[in-house]
Amino acid sequence: MMIFTLARRELRSLFLSPLAWAILAIVQFILAYLFLSQLQEFLLIQPRLATIDNAPGVTELVIAPLYGSAAFIMMLVAPLLTMRLISEERRNKSLPLLISAPVSMTEIIMGKYLGMLGFAAIMIFMMTLMPLSLYFAGTLDAGLLFSIVLGTSLLLAAFISLGLYMSSLTAQPTIAAMSTFGMLLMLWIIDWAGGKADAAASGLLEYLSILRHFEAFSKGIFNSSDFIYYLLFISLFLILSIRRLDGDRLQR
Amino acid sequence: MENKKLLSVKHLSRFYGSLAAVNSISFHLNKGEVLGFLGPNGAGKSTTMQVITGNLAPSAGQIDICGFDLIDSAKQAKANIGYLPEQPPLYREFTVDEYLLFCAQLNRIEKSKQNFALTRAKERCGLTQVGHRLINNLSKGYQQRVGIAQAIIHSPEIVILDEPTVGLDPIQIKEIRTLIRELAQDHGVILSTHILPEVQMTCDRVQIINHGQLVYSDDINHLHQRMRSNSIILGLNNPPAETELKSLTFIDEVEVLSETRFRLSHALENSPAENIAQIAADKKWGLFEIRPEQKTLEQVFVELTSGEVIADEADTEKYNGASAA
């Protein structure tokens, strides 16, 4: 209950600043452009596809790349969304309000995380309206679409948990944004080194790569290990954030 | 005074590295009183406030709030506290109503009572007119009041205000002091400040903290007595011999400050000022300054911190005797 109160406040604060609106608008615009150009491409090659047996459909050829681009854009946008979560409260010295209220550190962090997830849900919903609009013209591979949306949601949820932790480390939102971006990019490209190293190490790097686990979802493969990877990732950074916030009281 | 203890702090210490910001202090707060926490900047006032509100973990010691230990049952303990930090913890993008409603929810006020709590807090802090305005657009004084409203919205047993009048204009200061007196009727209030008049006007009991240690804790009246002066500064352009000054009525001692200025000590109950002015005029000493010395807060501190009182132990005793009689 208290978590929802905190989450609601977080979401409200977000929408009281122009940042949230700007991000929603710009992301939607870019994705719409990509969606339309991708769709046009598809329409051009559609006659040829019709002649092939078992040809890839619109879901594979239009929607999967769209969400691939969305994942990349969200990597750029997530740090901007999460940077202020805790660092701004530190800078404004408004944290004592939460800490001296009868709520636990866990509730504070979970509330903030949930509020940001609310925003992520709005963003993904807006994005998903585009593929859904294709139902007017034909049918989609609903299972694949669901898998892609689920993967994107998990990916964004993971981005946000990392951003929350980075925000809890500093009182400067820009530093939080920069370090979140750096970490995300590192996790994104970590498996590029994989091919050259020996097998065991490259396996580990591939496992760590945040993108690898997303790719399976975008092919419609639901692997419980990918799912667990994201859950572990999110839990890790939430727990670290709680500990960090608690650590504020202990030392300085 | 009712004797219900709301807060009791035992041997509280807080270290920053090897620096003891607060060193083994113990105190308590009763229902219906305003406890002034007085000290120079950096004495450990804010640290103490932060520790008893759970914003800083104590290095050692025990804090008991309305029967709940702050560490073991933090939630119940914190539910009984309203805290205004040095800088009011506001969400400036919210309106006053939105913000206070959030604070009410945060403090687990039942939904049906939230509106009542909101209205009451606004009334008490004089915010009724500005409920729909953005906090960011309010003046500093109003923001401070929103901070106080936030601290009292859930009618906590203990209200802790850390320097609530800093940066306000004299009228606002007066209003806030009145508010503090009102709050004391059904809450216990801890007021931290380094402004002496504030304590004199609002508090029932005073604690002075210096270098992390409690050096004084007593009724406000006793502090007033301590601050009363027993010397006057005298400035003469044609001063007579020191012995002549000393032979004046009521004068115990003469201290030469410069060629023309003297400090004359006297017993507290007899002021020699009128007499001296008369004589100085008659004998054409060229009187240009005569001023009873008011002890400053710093002097009281020095006396209190050094334990044994400087120079006028005897006088103090004499005075205490007089007040007892």
The domain spans of chain B are: 5-225, 229-292
CB atoms within 10 A of CB B237: 12
Q: Within a domain: residue A250?
A: no
CA atoms B58, B62, B66, B72: torsion sign? positive
Instruction: Name the band, by pLDDT with cuts 50, 70 and 90, for residue B319.
Output: very low
Instruction: Name the band, by pLDDT with cuts 50, 70 and 90, for residue B297.
Output: low
Q: Span B229-292: which CATH code?
A: 3.30.70.100
Q: What is the model's pLDDT at position B38?
A: 84
Q: What is the model's pLDDT at position B293?
A: 76
Is A77's pLDDT higher than 50? Answer: yes
Q: What integer is the mean pLDDT of A24-45?
A: 93
Instruction: Name the band, by pLDDT with cuts 50, 70 and 90, for residue A248.
Output: confident
CA atoms B282, B287, B293, B294: torsion sign? positive
Is B308's pLDDT higher than 60? Answer: no
For the entire predicted model, the pTM comes to 0.83
Distance CA B164, CA B88 (A): 9
Which residues of chain B make contact with A17, given a CB cutoff of 8 A?
Answer: 93
Q: Å from B44 to nearest chain A CA?
A: 15
Strands B205-210 and B213-219, sheet pairing: antiparallel
Give B35 or A251, the one with higher predicted confidence: B35
Is B29's pLDDT higher than 70? Answer: yes
Q: How far is CA A241 from CA A112, A115, A139, B57, in A?
A: 11, 15, 43, 18
Largest Cα–Cα separation, chain B: 80
Which residues of chain B make contact with A96, given a CB cutoff of 8 A?
Answer: 50, 53, 55, 83, 85, 89
Q: Å from A20 to nearest chain B CA?
A: 14
Q: Within a domain: residue A251?
A: no
Is B255's pLDDT higher than 90? Answer: no
Q: If you search the block for the tokens 């500990």, which residue do you land on?
A: A243
Chain A: residue whose CA lies nearest to B159: A100
Cβ contacts from A onto B, under 8 A: 70
CB contact under 8 A, B89 and A5: no
Chain B: residue whose CA lies nearest to A248: B56
Which residues of chain B make contact with A104, given a CB cutoff of 8 A?
Answer: 74-75
Q: Does A40 touch chain B (CB under 8 A)?
A: no
For B236-251, what is each residue's pLDDT tens digit? 888 888 888 877 777 7
Q: Å from A161 to nearest chain B CA?
A: 23
Which residues of chain B make contact with A93, given a CB cutoff of 8 A?
Answer: 85, 87, 89
Q: Does A18 touch chain B (CB under 8 A)?
A: no
Chain B: residue whose CA lies nearest to A249: B56
Distance CA B81, CA B232 (A): 46
Q: Within a domain: residue A74?
A: yes
CB contact under 8 A, B75 and A102: yes
CB contact under 8 A, B78 and A102: yes
Instruction: Name the band, by pLDDT with cuts 50, 70 and 90, for residue A205.
Output: confident
Q: Within a domain: residue A252?
A: no
* Ordered strands of the B19-30 beta sheet: B19-30, B5-16, B60-65, B68-69
Q: Å from B193 to nearest chain A CA?
A: 19
Of A94, A103, A104, the CB nearest to B89: A94
Question: Residue A7: which of A89, A92, A112, A96 has the closest Cα?
Answer: A112
Q: Does A196 touch chain B (CB under 8 A)?
A: no
Distance CA A209, CA A192 (A): 9
**β-pair partners for B262:** B234, B256
Is B18's pLDDT higher than 80? Answer: yes
Q: What is the model's pLDDT at position B323?
A: 40
For B145-194, what is each residue's pLDDT tens digit? 899 999 999 999 999 999 888 777 888 888 888 888 888 888 899 998 87
- B65-B88-B173 Cα angle (round to 5): 95
Q: Within a domain: residue A214?
A: yes
CB contact under 8 A, A95 and B89: yes
Distance CA B201, CA B220 (A): 9
Burial A156-180 (b: 16+ CB within 10 A, else e): bbbbbbbbbbbbbbbebbeebbebb
Report the SS3 class of residue B181: helix
For A114-173, what is each residue's pLDDT tens digit? 999 999 999 999 999 999 998 887 788 889 999 999 999 999 999 999 999 999 999 999
Of B54, B87, B108, the CB nearest to A100: B54
Is A53's pLDDT higher than 70? Answer: yes
Tokens describing residue B219 = 């009724």
Position B42: which residue type? G
Q: Does A12 touch chain B (CB under 8 A)?
A: yes
For B99-139, what is each residue's pLDDT tens digit? 999 999 999 999 999 999 999 999 888 899 999 999 999 98
Contact in structure between A164 and A238 (CB atoms under 8 Å): yes
* Ordered strands of the B261-266 beta sheet: B251-256, B261-266, B231-236, B287-292
Q: What is the model's pLDDT at position B318?
A: 40
Distance CA A116, CA A180 (A): 15
Which residues of chain A make contact with B74, given a CB cutoff of 8 A?
Answer: 102, 104
Q: Span B5-225: which CATH code?
A: 3.40.50.300
Which residues of chain A make contact with B85, given a CB cutoff of 8 A?
Answer: 93, 96
DSSP code, position B309: P
Q: Identify the domain containing residue A202 by its residue range.
A: 2-245
Q: Å from B106 to nearest chain A CA?
A: 7
Mutating which of A1, A88, A97 best tests the B interface, going by the most B Cβ atoms within 10 A? A97
Least confident of A197-206, B125-134, B253-262, B275-284: A197-206
CB contact under 8 A, B107 and A95: no
CB contact under 8 A, B91 and A94: yes
| DSSP result, B77-133 | HHHTEEEE-SS----TTSBHHHHHHHHHHHTT--HHHHHHHHHHHHHHTT-GGGTTS
CB contact under 8 A, B92 and A97: no
* Number of structural domains chain A divides into: 1
Q: What integer is the mean pLDDT of A37-53?
A: 87
CB contact under 8 A, A97 and B89: yes
CB contact under 8 A, A2 and B103: no
